[in-house]
């Protein structure tokens, strides 16, 4: 017979509320349901942690700046270096041209 245990985790109210809102936005009915699934996956070694950075939104000024850089490179107005076969080749080039 499986025994049921309760897990008590002290966390701040703000973190709990934000986690609950995010759990609900993912379709969970409550925070306990999302934690239960997380623990089940962790126990079965099916859990993988990965962090994805949020997309950076540039200001209009920086967006224009980087767009101009890209246009200059693509048009050939701005020269680029490249074609290195290894990092050692790249560092040799940088050492020779510094």
What pLDDT is recorded for position 52? Answer: 83
The whole-angstrom separation of Cα 79 and Cα 72 is 9
Name the pTM for this structure. Answer: 0.47
Q: Tell me how far the alpha carbon of residue 60 is from its chain's centroid.
A: 23
Inside any domain, residue 68: yes
> Over the stretch 43-98, which tens digit does the pLDDT of each residue have?
998 877 777 888 889 999 999 999 999 999 899 898 888 788 899 999 998 898 87
Mean pLDDT over 2-28 rounds to 93
Cβ partners under 8 Å of residue 72, min gap 6: 78
pLDDT band at 27 (very low <50, low <70, confident <90, very high): very high
Q: How many CB atoms lie within 10 A of CB 6?
A: 4
* Residue 86: domain span: 60-96
Question: What is the count of structural domains for the chain?
Answer: 1
If you average pLDDT over residues 16-45, what whole number do you get?
92
- Asked if 28 and 38 count as a contact pair (C-beta separation under 8 A), the reply is no
- Asked whether the beta carbons of 78 and 72 are under 8 A apart, the reply is yes
């Amino acid at each position: 017979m499986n025994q049921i245990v309760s897990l008590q985790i002290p966390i701040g109210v703000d973190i709990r509320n934000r986690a609950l809102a995010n759990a609900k936005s993912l379709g969970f009915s409550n925070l306990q349901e999302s934690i239960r699934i997380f623990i089940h996956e962790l126990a079965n070694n099916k859990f993988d942690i990965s962090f994805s950075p949020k997309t950076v939104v540039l200001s209009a000024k920086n967006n224009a700046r980087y767009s101009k850089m890209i246009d200059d490179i693509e048009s050939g107005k701005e020269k680029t270096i490249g074609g290195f076969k290894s990092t050692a080749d790249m560092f040799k080039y940088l050492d020779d041209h510094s």
